[in-house]
Chain A
Amino acid sequence: MDFDTYELDPSVYDEMLLPDGAPRDHCRPLYDALRRMSSEELSGVQERATRSFSHEGISFTVYGEAEAQERIIPIDCLPRLLSGADWRLIESGLTQRLIALNRFLEDVYNEARIVADGVIPADMVRGCPQYRIEMRGFSPPHGVWVAICGTDIVRTNDGFHVLEDNLRVPSGVSYMIANRKVIKSGLRRTYRSARVREVEHYGRLLQATLRELAPSGRSDPCIALLTPGVYNAAFYEHMFLAGEIGAELVEGRDLVVNDGTVYMRTTSGLRRVDVIYRRIDDDFLDPLVFRPDSLLGVPGLLHACKRGSVSLVNAPGTGVADDKSVYAYVPDMIRYYLGDEPILANVETHLCRRPESLEYTLDNLENLVVKRVGESGGYGMLVGPHATPAERAAYAEEVRANPADFIAQPVLALSRAPCLIDGRFEPRHVDLRPFVLNGRQTRIVPGAFCRVALRRGSLVVNSSQGGGGKDLWVLNDQAN
């Protein structure tokens, strides 16, 4: 197959090709291999990948008006490549960022120096719905509030930018591994010669991380993964990870708290649980403390966590650090706690709570992406250039009514990567979500869940909004 009809736009970074149509150096072997393959061969790879997902039930759940549906995340068979140098930059940038974010969380729930020193407005922290007053005075093992994070990174012609830190219950790591498994078997020879760094040992690193965070004195901790259950969109991932780390997959109803200690109900009685990798939002964790109507949680869980008999990972209350407004201050946090300049840039962000930013946002709605502070997953946002005037006007009303609930960012020219669409190579916008683990040390597998907006021209990569996935190959080019 050739790239003759492949569209290049100099204002958008292409992950494989230079503006003149020649392949980037690190992409040349893949480029050559793709040109040697026929359209039928590649379509075959694509079909086998999709079929294998369907047979293995690698799915997520979408909630429509009528009923929940199990769906496959569409996969594009062309891998996205990252050079070793690009990866090293991302790796050091993410490590720096997570260290600062953990310092921030330990600080705001204890002394709150950063607020006292006027770096971040007090009302922005304490007024954030994700700030959990119940966690004040708490300090998790080793000061690790966020042990597992999945950071969304995009690339433009100006380099990499962090779009979002997901510090609560980030998902997608199972798709990183599933995509790798099917693509490497589909493109076996190309894969072998490309010297791709492995990602499939993620489970081992995750287990090591969770063990390090066990309460002191529990040398052989019992680890459980707490899922909201089979109806959760990410249930496949919960099941997969539990298997990878050798943890019991539990629901709230499987756990009981007795005398401040957490147990699970087994067929031979109660067994103590030491570490809970929870994939349930704070709100639903403990009906005695958070939402009283939660059926997913465990009464007394927060009390057990605060007295240190069980470690909740990530700790409750981390959402205050990935709030879309607080996000704007992460570069300042890095400077404040570490005395360093941020390695990875933020996206320019206008906080509508500030009058001048509100005015700017409303005046430039057609050029901005406006997001609701409390939403995620691509819900509740306005992509200005793609909206109709009526939609913009309606949205502007909402922004005016509650400015503090909104932030605005420029529409980024997200980089594009070639995808196999209807038997041809076509460019589509992509981002990447690497996963960072933090126990006593930071661990990152060299890879990411690469999301792709499969609809032509679309910038929205979320799985719930028609996005798909790609395998991402970090190349081992240290020797070169």
Chain B
Amino acid sequence: MLVRSAQGLYWMSRYLERARRLCRLLQLQTESLVDRPIREIHFGWSRIYASVNRDPPAGRIELLGSDDYTLADSYTLAGDLTFERSNPDSVWSCFDQGRENARQIRQSISTPMWTQLNLAYLRLQELEMPDIWAVSPESFYADTVAQIDTFVGVAAATMYRGEGWRFMELGRFVERAQLLAALLLAQLDAEQHVEEASDADWTGLLRLCHAFEVYNRRYSVAVQPRQVLDLLVTDPRLPDSLGRSIDRAAEEIDAIGPGPDPDSSGALQRLAGRIGGVIHYQWPDHDDCQALLEQVRTHCYELHDRVTAAYFDYAIEDAPAS
């Protein structure tokens, strides 16, 4: 398929996955504004900003002991992550980029996919921060997640399973792996800066990945950070787990097959296998979770570069012609 189309599908998918993850985080965070202690709210914001690698508008998040301040600050922070045009990773920007990529390669996706995405985009265009904050910000985020999930479902139901589909899936799982690795590191990092870790910080992570009930069944309702990490990192049956994301990305790379340059295609396949190896074979017997996660995160970023080198940015002189 045309390189630009493959790239458009890959990026469309990545941006929508990014928007989805951010909306999930903001959904849980705005839920916590209703009844959680200020310390937890503060922890939540720090974790979000660390995971998206962005500085909060005022440079840092102040821990003030008053509800009023916390809520006012939360409004500013949520606005910065949701509608801020100048924030390239805000929900608004991710949607804008996702839809723009889709628009450019619209002939490569099905009509129902385009319509669903465009409707979701148009809805977002009509909203501002005060609209979502006044009643129930968490339901706005939940609705937005549902819109993206619907898009993914419509895609699954209607899109031809050609190379385009593969690149779309690849983009989604590369993004998902990068985001989760960054979030887990943010969690570990934020924990080191609080006096007393709270169970809620960990259960929030489980909920975020739709793993709370599974965890309770498999382990116990008592939260053990290491067990939470094991589940989120290695479980191949959990749609959001790191291990599954990497396995799925590797499957898509296999299915797409080699690009024009055998060397960079080989390097890509080996890297995907190596990350899988770390997760499935090193993680269970390893004590330093942080070090291993750092390694996985670095590899996940590298994975993107290798995809680009193998399929998108190859040298024309080396390319076979047909």
Inter-chain contact A267/B122, CB cutoff 8 Å: no
A229 to B311, CA, bound (A): 21
Q: List the A side residues contacting B119 at CB < 8 Å.
A: 55
Q: List the B side residues contacting A264 at CB < 8 Å.
A: 2
A22 in contact (CB, < 8 A): no
Inter-chain contact B6/A267, CB cutoff 8 Å: yes
Q: How far is the CB of B102 from chain A (nearest CB, A)?
A: 9
Q: Given A55-B119, A264-B2, A267-B1, answer yes or no on A258-B321 (Cβ-Cβ < 8 Å).
A: yes
Q: How many residue pairs at the A-B interface have CB separations less than 8 Å? A: 78
Interface size class of B (residues with CB under 8 A): 20 to 34
Which residue in B104, B122, B260 is a CB contact (below 8 Å) of A55?
B122
Q: How far is the CB of B36 from chain A (nearest CB, A)?
A: 39
Q: Produce 1/0 per residue, B96-140, CB < 8 A to A.
A: 000010011111000100110011001000000000000000000
Q: Given A265-B3, A267-B259, A270-B321, answer yes or no on A243-B316 (Cβ-Cβ < 8 Å).
A: no
How many A residues, CB 8 Å from partner? 28
Q: Given A55-B118, A56-B115, answer yes or no on A239-B107 (Cβ-Cβ < 8 Å).
A: yes
B163 in contact (CB, < 8 A): yes
Q: List the B side residues contacting A243 at CB < 8 Å.
A: 107
Q: List the A side residues contacting B66 at CB < 8 Å.
A: none
Q: List the A side residues contacting B4 at CB < 8 Å.
A: 250-251, 253-254, 265
Q: List the A side residues contacting B256 at CB < 8 Å.
A: 267
A419 in contact (CB, < 8 A): no
Q: List the B side residues contacting A253 at CB < 8 Å.
A: 4
Q: Given A55-B118, A269-B260, answer yes or no on A263-B2 (Cβ-Cβ < 8 Å).
A: no
Q: Which 9 A-B pairs have the closest CB atoms?
A: A269-B260, A270-B321, A269-B319, A269-B320, A243-B107, A265-B3, A267-B311, A230-B104, A239-B106
Inter-chain contact B320/A55, CB cutoff 8 Å: no
A272 in contact (CB, < 8 A): yes
B86 in contact (CB, < 8 A): no
Q: List the B side residues contacting A230 at CB < 8 Å.
A: 100, 103-104
Q: List the B side residues contacting A270 at CB < 8 Å.
A: 260, 316, 319-322
Q: Produce 1/0 per residue, B20-39, CB < 8 A to A.
A: 00000000000000000000
Q: From B108, which residue of chain A is reached at the shortest CB distance?
A: A249
Q: List the B side residues contacting A249 at CB < 8 Å.
A: 2, 5, 105, 107
Q: How far is the CB of B192 from chain A (nearest CB, A)?
A: 43
Q: How far is the CB of B158 from chain A (nearest CB, A)?
A: 14
Q: How far is the CB of A59 from chain B (nearest CB, A)?
A: 9
Q: From A259, which residue of chain B is reached at the shortest CB distance?
A: B321
| Chain B positions 208-228 with a Cβ under 8 Å from a chain A Cβ | none
Inter-chain contact A267/B100, CB cutoff 8 Å: no
Which residue in B6, B114, B167, B319 is a CB contact (below 8 Å) of A57?
B114
Q: From A263, which residue of chain B is reached at the shortest CB distance?
A: B321
| 29 A-B residue pairs with CB within 8 Å | A54-B122, A56-B115, A56-B118, A230-B100, A243-B107, A248-B5, A249-B2, A249-B105, A249-B107, A250-B2, A254-B2, A254-B3, A256-B316, A258-B316, A263-B321, A265-B4, A265-B316, A265-B319, A266-B1, A266-B3, A267-B163, A267-B256, A267-B311, A267-B312, A268-B259, A270-B260, A270-B320, A270-B321, A272-B321
A265 to B105, CA, bound (A): 15
Q: List the A side residues contacting B312 at CB < 8 Å.
A: 267
Inter-chain contact B118/A57, CB cutoff 8 Å: yes
- Residue among A55, A254, A265 with the highest chain B CB neighbour number at 10 A: A265
Q: List the A side residues contacting B163 at CB < 8 Å.
A: 267
Inter-chain contact A266/B320, CB cutoff 8 Å: no
Inter-chain contact B107/A265, CB cutoff 8 Å: no
A354 in contact (CB, < 8 A): no
Q: List the B side residues contacting A268 at CB < 8 Å.
A: 257, 259-260
Q: How far is the CB of A57 from chain B (nearest CB, A)?
A: 5
Q: Produce 1/0 per residue, A240-281, CB < 8 A to B.
A: 001100001111011010100001111111111000000000
Q: List the B side residues contacting A271 at CB < 8 Å.
A: 321-322
A422 to B111, CA, bound (A): 32
Which residue in B2, B100, B105, B115 is a CB contact (below 8 Å) of A266?
B2
A300 to B122, CA, bound (A): 41
Inter-chain contact B321/A56, CB cutoff 8 Å: no
A295 to B3, CA, bound (A): 18
Q: How far is the CB of B82 from chain A (nearest CB, A)?
A: 22
A63 to B322, CA, bound (A): 40
Q: Produce 1/0 per residue, B143-178, CB < 8 A to A.
A: 000000000000000000001000100000000000
